[in-house]
């Protein structure tokens, strides 16, 4: 049986442009976009003009650069607001925070990255973290990301390592794939992952998976300043997280 051909390949090309712009921290010029998505500048410009028309892309006329537009916000807001996982997990994470006054995240995988679905700020602590709902982070340098990587088989891991460079964000980021694979094997055994100042300096994070009937549907984490991460406190957090994990999974598949 022949594979079905996609209808409207221009939509696939437009998606490549949007994916590229989503990874940029500032506006990008036409030539650079065309090179990144491997299209001619004329084709890229035509697609960008259409995306501008419907508000998916915005343009800085003075600098002649492009970035994601406001129309995408309404779709992302709807997705994050009405996510089933978020609606089920957030009330339980709020209960978790009553016993653990730290930053709590809920995340899902999106391609080769982790996306923050929800973030609960501590009530009394004043430690600021740069994470925001909707923002993406690498899988290999985050505790929740490692949870998702631990579900990959050997072939999937090989593909991941061939596509994603293990760039260092701090001095403690694991950039050796063999060391990372060893840690992933431990995560498979314990269902607990750690980020020990690997994404942000002075930040220690603990994550656990949220399992559906067949797959990992999401993950949640508790983040704290490194100096508070004593073994006794970490054990206390893991105990509270395990209780929250069980409650969430019981609701997902009663």
CB atoms within 10 A of CB 167: 10
pLDDT value for 215: 85
User: Which carries the bigger pLDDT value, residue 83 or residue 198?
Assistant: 198
Position 241 pLDDT exceeds 50: yes
pLDDT value for 175: 94
SS (H, E, C) 133-170: CCCEEECCCCHHHHHHHCCCCHHHHHHHHHHCCCCCCC
Cα distance between residue 145 and residue 140, in whole Å: 6
The rounded mean pLDDT for the chain is 88
When pLDDT is averaged across residues 165-180 and rounded to a whole number, the result is 94
Report the candidate in 14, 6, 73 with the shortest Cα–Cα distance to residue 48.
14
- 79 Cβ contact partners less than 8 Å away, ≥ 6 residues apart: none
pLDDT value for 187: 97
Identify each DSSP E strand in 111-197 by its residue range: 113-120, 136-138, 193-196
Q: Please tell me the total number of residues recorded for the chain in this structure.
A: 254
- 196 Cβ contact partners less than 8 Å away, ≥ 6 residues apart: 172, 204, 226
Report the candidate in 116, 152, 158, 119 with the shortest Cα–Cα distance to residue 137.
116
Position 25 pLDDT exceeds 80: no
When pLDDT is averaged across residues 173-193 and rounded to a whole number, the result is 96
Cut 0.85: pTM above it: no
Position 150 pLDDT exceeds 70: yes
Rounded to a whole number of angstroms, the CA Rg of the chain reads 20
pLDDT value for 68: 85
pLDDT value for 83: 74
Cα distance between residue 241 and residue 96, in whole Å: 7
pLDDT value for 1: 42
CA 129 to chain centre: 15
pLDDT value for 182: 96
Query: What are 45-94's pLDDT values in tens digits?
Result: 999 999 999 889 988 888 899 988 877 766 666 666 557 788 889 999 99
Query: What are 109-120's pLDDT values in tens digits?
Result: 887 888 888 899
Cα distance between residue 71 and residue 142, in whole Å: 30
pLDDT value for 10: 87
């Amino acid at each position: 049986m022949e594979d079905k051909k996609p209808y409207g390949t221009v939509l696939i090309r437009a998606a490549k442009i949007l994916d590229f712009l989503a990874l940029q921290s500032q506006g990008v010029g036409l030539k650079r976009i065309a090179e990144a998505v491997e299209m001619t500048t004329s084709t890229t410009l035509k697609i960008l003009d259409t995306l501008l028309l419907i508000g998916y892309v915005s343009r800085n006329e003075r600098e002649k650069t492009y970035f994601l537009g406001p129309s995408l916000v309404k779709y992302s807001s709807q997705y994050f607001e009405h996510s089933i996982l978020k609606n089920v997990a957030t009330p339980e994470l709020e209960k978790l925070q009553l016993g653990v006054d730290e930053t709590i995240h809920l995340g899902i995988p999106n391609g080769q990255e982790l996306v923050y679905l929800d973030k609960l700020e501590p009530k009394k602590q004043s430690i600021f973290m740069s994470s925001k709902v909707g923002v993406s982070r690498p899988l290999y340098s985050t505790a929740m990301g490692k949870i998702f990587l631990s579900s990959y088989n050997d072939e999937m891991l090989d593909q991941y390592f061939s596509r994603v460079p293990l760039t260092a964000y701090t001095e403690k980021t694991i950039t050796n794939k063999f060391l990372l694979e060893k840690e992933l094997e431990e995560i498979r055994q314990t269902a607990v992952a750690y980020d020990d100042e690997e994404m942000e300096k002075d930040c220690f994070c603990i994550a656990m998976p949220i399992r559906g009937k067949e797959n990992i549907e999401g993950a949640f984490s508790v983040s704290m300043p490194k100096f508070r991460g004593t073994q006794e406190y970490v054990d206390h957090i893991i105990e509270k997280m395990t209780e929250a994990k069980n409650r969430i999974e019981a609701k997902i598949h009663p």
